[in-house]
Amino acid sequence: MEAAGSAHFWARRIRSLGHTVRLLPAHYVKPYVRRSKTDRADAGALIEAARCAENSRGTVKTVELNRFNPCIGLRSQWMSTRQRY
């Protein structure tokens, strides 16, 4: 599964059904897309990227961590504006 948008939600749902979930960062999958951006081309790229042993896999985030992520982004923005002046 490509780790984007709602991937962590769907990964938790699929894992609860008993399946094994592996998340791949989108920048690892992009080089394997050969044709235009379609679901079929994306699926083929995901398979090729998953076969490559060099690509690291992401972990599925918990609900609490997903809720906390906007706070981390706000803090880093605030820190960058403070450091400019």
Round to whole Å and give the CA distance between 62 and 12: 8
Number of domains in the chain: 1
Q: Region 5-12: what's the mean pLDDT?
A: 84
pTM over 0.85: no
Place of tokens 């403070």: 82
pLDDT of residue 18: 93
* Residue bearing tokens 């599964």: 1
Residues 17 and 11: their CA atoms lie apart, in Å, by: 10
pLDDT score for 79: 81
**Residue numbers of the domain that contains 32:** 2-84
Q: Are 8 and 24 within 8 A, CB to CB? A: no
Q: Rounded to whole angstroms, how far apart are CA atoms 40 and 36? A: 10
How many Cβ atoms are within 10 Å of 46's Cβ, its own excluded? 18
**pLDDT tens digit sequence for 28-65:** 888 888 878 788 888 888 888 888 767 667 777 777 77
